[in-house]
Chain A
Amino acid sequence: MSEPAPGGKPVAGSLPRFVVPLILFALAGGLWANPWHFVSPVPPPINVPAWATDITPVRKPKLSPEYKVAGYSYRCSDCHKLFPSSPEANDSPFQHRDVVLRHGINTRCFNCHHLTNRDAYVDDWGHEIPATTPQLLCGKCHGPVYRDWLSGAHGRTEGYWDKSRGPQMRRKCIECHDPHQPPFPPMPPAPPPNTLRMGRQDYPHKPAAIKNPLHVSRGESDAEASDAPALPGPVNGKP
């Protein structure tokens, strides 16, 4: 400051004259170049599998006594009129290895199938139930469910809720349940939501490391949660 500039003038007063534009230019350049680029915390959209929006029922039974072998279609009676069965049959003969009967205490083929007319089912009095109305057969034992199904509290209803504006369809028992293994089959779930996965999303996707902070693990219902603390606390989801 005390050193004289060439020409004998002091430089003390010239400092702000250059500093102010320099700061402003640096600010302008910094803002324009944007070195603190905004990293969006929004994760990319997930891939939704096509089956997740498929509205067709889980089963497509024929509702008719057809049996397809090697491209040919037979009626059940075509074979069974030649080969009579034992009334107490309870195993799968080699022609029907695909049939595995896991229906609780219902372990006899002819509890449901008609003994002499294999194109029909059998009711409690030995009369025939046509193959197009399997619900009458299931209703023999599953009375409350049949009652609920008749009034619409059980089973799939498709089409229009307002029958005056369009068709409405009720799905029959065996269009969801396999009659030989009736419980509804387990299926993989569609992807979980990621609405609570907050913060930076650019680390590798680790579902096991991302937990609902509100979730309290109890028991070993899912193995990944077993290492979570048993008490609610500040679980930030990272191990």
Chain B
Amino acid sequence: MPANESHPMAGALPPDDGRPPQLTRRGFLSKGAVALAGASAVAAALSPLRELKPGDIPSLEQFLQKHYKEMTADEKHAAIARIAREVAARYGVQPNVADPPPLSGVEFVYALNISRCIGCRKCVYACVAENNPSRAPEIQYIRVLKMEKGSINIETADHHYDPPVVPGPDSYYMPVQCHQCAKPPCVKVCPVEATWQEPDGITVIDYDWCIGCRYCAAACPYWARRFNFAEPQIPAEKLNPDMSYLSNRPRPKGVMEKCTFCLQRTRVGRMPACVEVCPTGSRKFGNVLDPESEVAYILKHKRAFVLKEDVGTLPRFFYYFDERGSRYHEPIAPIQPEPGGGA
């Protein structure tokens, strides 16, 4: 077979006489080299899988978990036990995962006195400490807008202000968070019904049902929804172990989250973290169905308004202000004792 011997691809060609193909040493090595290199390339291309952690692949139990509203009590207990196991494995903290039900005869309403808010942003960090959002990348539910006195122009508001002291001259501050609308556009657009409004007025998310399409973030007129673009990072010592299924349990990458009025606290009668920390007492929270509550008084007697009333979302978050304006916010010059006392 002179033709076969002279051809470089001789090993690959079938012989002419109908016998089974003969594998030459040269053909084996060349084809083997190609196969080995190809396999190496495939293995190298899959090499990012080396960084996969055990928690990155959902367990079968999690994968088959039903929607929150379709779960029976036993299935909820199982899901809560699974979440507690996962949190303990990841953070080394034994969490206290609860699922407090909405209270009957309670509709939560929030009121914020913008003539008393000084823009110190303590509410932002009290919320972060309570609700276990990602620290890096940073997720914060409350955005404090600094605006000029005399208008409510959100287009020119600044939420990156960082002067040495607040309040600044000629500015007022308008913290914005989830308004827990009675007609929430975020719920309307969700294609998988992973977010819904609870009977006490809080719009919640089932983080295990969310597919991360971010339609709700686009629909929200108050920029209140936050997305976990990357794996949330929470230092273990900063994890709040008192968590609940619908609010502040640690979220996975790729799901939405939002303010829930701290339902893990408020459904057991406590104040939200942002109310508790506010140094000026600008933030008010309570049950609007109780006529004796502070918020019922404020809505009845104070000058209350909602943000973007024209979009028809009927928020449960009200801003109000004092009749005498905010002249108490005038900045105080450093005080020097006057000789002989002021007269």
The interface of chain A, by Cβ under 8 A from chain B, is 9, 13-14, 17, 20-25, 27-32, 34, 40, 42-46, 48, 51-55, 57-58, 90-92, 97, 100-102, 107, 144-145, 148, 151-162, 164-166, 171, 176, 181-196, 207, 210-212, 214-216, 218-219, 221-222, 225
Contacts and interface: CB of A to CB of B under 8 A. Distances in A.
A16 to B, nearest CB: 9
B271 A159 contact: yes
B41 A27 contact: yes
Nearest to B136: A45
A216 B156 CA distance: 6
Given A53-B125, A151-B294, A188-B164, A161 B47 contact: no
Nearest to A33: B44
Given A55-B276, A190-B124, A181 B113 contact: no
B328 A184 contact: yes
Contact of B8 (A17, A160, A181): A17
Interface stretch (B168-176, B179-187, B308-316): B168-176
Given A27-B41, A211-B160, 12 more contacts: A13-B8, A17-B9, A52-B124, A54-B277, A157-B271, A160-B269, A181-B332, A184-B280, A187-B165, A189-B163, A216-B155, A219-B170
A232 B330 CA distance: 30
Contacts of B188: none
A186 B167 contact: yes
Interface stretch (B70-78, B137-145, B202-210): B137-145
Interface stretch (B81-89, B189-197, B297-305): B297-305
A91 B340 contact: yes
Given A31-B45, A190-B125, A212-B159, A222 B269 contact: no
29 contacts: A9-B6, A22-B37, A24-B40, A28-B37, A31-B41, A31-B44, A45-B135, A48-B125, A52-B121, A90-B341, A91-B340, A102-B342, A107-B342, A156-B281, A157-B294, A158-B276, A159-B271, A166-B270, A181-B332, A183-B330, A184-B118, A187-B166, A189-B163, A190-B122, A191-B162, A195-B140, A207-B162, A212-B160, A225-B158
A38 to B, nearest CB: 9
B117 to A, nearest CB: 10
A195 B142 CA distance: 12
Interface string B312-343: 00000000101110001111100101001111
